[in-house]
Amino acid sequence: MKILVTGGAGFIGSNFIRYFLQKYSQYQIINLDKLTYAGNLDNLSDVENRPNYRFVKGDICDSELVNKIVKDGVDAIVHFAAESHVDRSIYDPVIFVKTNVLGTQTLLESALKLKLDRFIQISTDEVYGSLGREGSFTESSPLLPSSPYSASKASADLLVHSYFETFGLPAIITRCTNNYGPYQFPEKLIPLFITNALFDQSLPIYGDGLYVRDWIYVEDHCKALDVILHQGKVGEIYNIGGGNEKTNLGITDLILQKLNKPKSLIQHVKDRPAHDRRYSLDCSKIKTQLGWKPSTPFEEGIAKTVDWYSTHQSWWQKIKSGEYLKYYEKHYLLRESY
């Protein structure tokens, strides 16, 4: 099988590529990535010389390039490429619409014209919007996105579904909860707080810190996508979650415990607009129909993650000393205290 992975130099995409190359030595992987702020070829430095892996720098909105790649015998597209940070979507929504909506449409057109066997749309639980204290979203829950980011992902999901319904494109949509693990760009909560705490820098928590997210170790997500790619039913949506609902404050406390750092590093900052209170997914469909379930307990996963960032400081220090540092200073350090 030859797979086109879009956004494969990012966090989840790079972990997916590494997982697939290790498990399926006969598969060929093409990684198409524009290498914007979160795309990092260092994420795949250990596999870049493998004969069944090829990197192509380019934009998913470039239909000529996408068609050229897909014509080269591609069987499936696994579509990770997206602008993905909620804060950035608040300050610059335009690029989110262009990449996440128009880029997805470009890929769909190519997949349709060249009759691909599978199109896997990697989406997010954020498309469902916010939940109260009880209940979980199912695959049939209405889409009520709150941010420009989640709205752009919901729009892309609807496009993918329309190409299945209208044109018979063999597409599948996956919606996953918050991922964590190695190679995550250090603007996200867990890597940001680990890397800051290592050097006794403040940990900026939005509002009261009681926003709830479900967390899944990135390798478990990759295993779920493996099952969906090979066994998933076309036209279906699959929720993927870790079953680890935690408050942001609870996550922070755990990180500080693992690193033996004081709670005085916590700094409550002004909340962001339209901040969803709680996400929770009902993942019974993928468990009962495809036999997948997460295998990494949260305590084990967070310990592995803390250890990885502690022992790979050169990786994230290179990032935080450059473009990311300017963004961090502008949008976190300069916020008024809560």
- Known catalytic residue at 125: yes
- DSSP assignment of 292-326: ------HHHHHHHHHHHHHH-HHHHHHHHTTHHHH
- Known catalytic residue at 149: yes
Q: Are strands 2-6 and 28-33 parallel, antiparallel or unpaired?
A: parallel
Catalytic hit among 33, 59, 83, 125: 125
Report how far residue 17's alpha carbon sits from residue 291's, in angstroms, rounded to the nearest whole number: 22
| Element of type H or E holding 79 | strand 76-79
Q: Per this entry, what is the length of the chain?
A: 338
Report how far residue 163's alpha carbon sits from residue 156's, in angstroms, rounded to the nearest whole number: 11
Catalytic hit among 53, 128, 149, 211: 149
Catalytic hit among 33, 59, 83, 126: 126
SS3 assignment, position 62: coil
Q: How many Cβ atoms are within 10 Å of 287's Cβ, its own excluded?
A: 16
Burial class (CB in 10 A: 0-12, 13-18, 19+), 316: buried
Query: What amino acid occupies position 65?
Result: L
Q: Which residues are catalytic?
A: 125-126, 149
